[in-house]
Amino acid sequence: MKAHVLTLFPELVKQPMEHSIVGRALSRGQLTVDVLDIRSFATNKHAKVDDSPYGGGPGMVMTPQPLVDAIEATRALCQKPWVIAFSPAGRLLDQARVRQLVAESVTDGRECIFVCGRYEGIDERVLDGWCDEIMSIGDYVLSGGELAALVVIDAMARLVPGVLGNAASPDEESLEQGLLEYPQYSRPESFRGHPVPEVLLSGDHARIASWRRARALARTRERRPDLFARLTLSAADKKLLES
């Protein structure tokens, strides 16, 4: 899988990717991420990339020229580019979209180009004319798109074949099934008066699977009613919720 990140702060993207799953995927060649400095495309004397907004208002807006030149230069390197900018006004990222992005990358050779905004945002003409998708990772505001790009890259990397040690791991993630994950426990069996549920110590795999399914269903109903409302519950699921 190959991706590109356009940013004013390359080190904010490069350094976090040196570690953990993404870092290992990069070192193995399972993932390639090119990071480009938008400022290097500025043509003015002082490499300025922002200006005050028309109509007045606080802060500065990223100007079109450096962004468009950076996008066009990166597009020219890709056979199948897909340009994604980040904004709370965009489509909310979910696991289904992550799966789709990975499938398009691994199967069709599509390369995502992540455009990281800063300041008060990106000139709307860039979003309208040069971006294929506007994406949101949540209903809150960040200082820039770098963290959002890292979130998407991490989520995608986990689904690239061979990146996770256990081939079944991505499929076992609860959100792949539209559920929150069931509670997890490790040693010791009791910690400061808090024991591990007996069923997990029983060795009865059928009981354990049933318990985990019940806990995942109940947790999703309680904490994410929006996800729960999309589920199609089987008769067995309904029975688990009633027990």
Q: Does the global pTM surpass 0.95?
A: no
Q: Looking at per-residue confidence, does 114 or 45 come out higher?
A: 114
- Rounded Cα distance between 219 and 221, Å, is 5
Rounded average pLDDT over 166-194: 84
**Helix/strand/coil for 198:** helix
Euclidean distance between CA atoms 205 and 230, whole angstroms? 28
SS3 label, residue 123 = coil
Q: What is the pLDDT of residue 171?
A: 62
Q: Is pLDDT at 177 greater than 90 in this prediction?
A: no
User: What pLDDT does 176 receive?
Assistant: 77
Domains in the chain, number: 2
Residue 142, pLDDT score? 96
Q: Could you tell me if 134 and 211 lie in one domain?
A: no
Task: Locate 27 and state its tokens.
Answer: 């070192």
Amino acid sitting at position 189? E
- Which of 157, 189, 220 is where one domain is finished? 157
pLDDT at 174 over 90: no
User: 124 and 34: one domain?
Assistant: yes
Residue 81 and residue 111 in contact, taking contact as beta carbons nearer than 8 Å: yes
**SS3 assignment, position 182:** coil
Q: What integer pLDDT is reported at residue 167 of this predicted model?
A: 60
Nearest alpha carbon to residue 50 among 37, 40, 39: 39
In a domain? residue 166:
no
In this structure, is residue 168 part of a structural domain? no
**137: CATH:** 3.40.1280.10
**What is the average pLDDT across 68-84?**
98
Q: What is the mean pLDDT of the chain?
A: 95
The reply to whether 24 falls in a domain is yes
133, 157, 181 - which closes a domain: 157
Span 104-117, average pLDDT: 98
Indicate whether 38 belongs to any domain. yes
Kindly list the distances between the CA atom of residue 192 and the CA atoms of 30, 183, 197, 202, 242, in Å, as whole numbers in the listed order: 43, 18, 14, 21, 31
Mean pLDDT for 158-171 is: 81
| 84 and 132 Cβ atoms separated by less than 8 Å | yes
Domain hosting residue 232, numbered range:
173-242
Over residues 153-174, the mean pLDDT reads 82
Tell me, yes or no, whether 116 lies in a domain: yes
Statement to judge: residues 36 and 64 lie in one domain: yes
Pairing of strands 2-7, 32-37: parallel
- 180 Cβ neighbours under 8 A, 6+ residues apart: 174, 216, 219, 220, 223, 224, 227
Strand-strand pairing, 110-115 and 61-62: unpaired
pLDDT of 194 > 60? The answer is yes
Section 223-232 average pLDDT: 96
pLDDT band at 168 (very low <50, low <70, confident <90, very high): low
Q: Tens digit of pLDDT for each residue in 2-61?
A: 999 999 999 999 999 999 999 999 999 999 999 999 999 999 989 999 999 999 999 999
Q: What is the pLDDT of residue 172?
A: 62
Contact 102, 156 (CB under 8 A): yes
Instruction: For the chain, report the end-to-end CA distance as a whole number of angstroms.
Output: 44
Residue range 206-221: mean pLDDT, rounded: 97
Average of per-residue pLDDT across 169-197: 87
Question: What's residue 175's pLDDT?
Answer: 78
How many other CB atoms are found less than 10 A from the CB of residue 22? 21
Contact 106, 162 (CB under 8 A): no
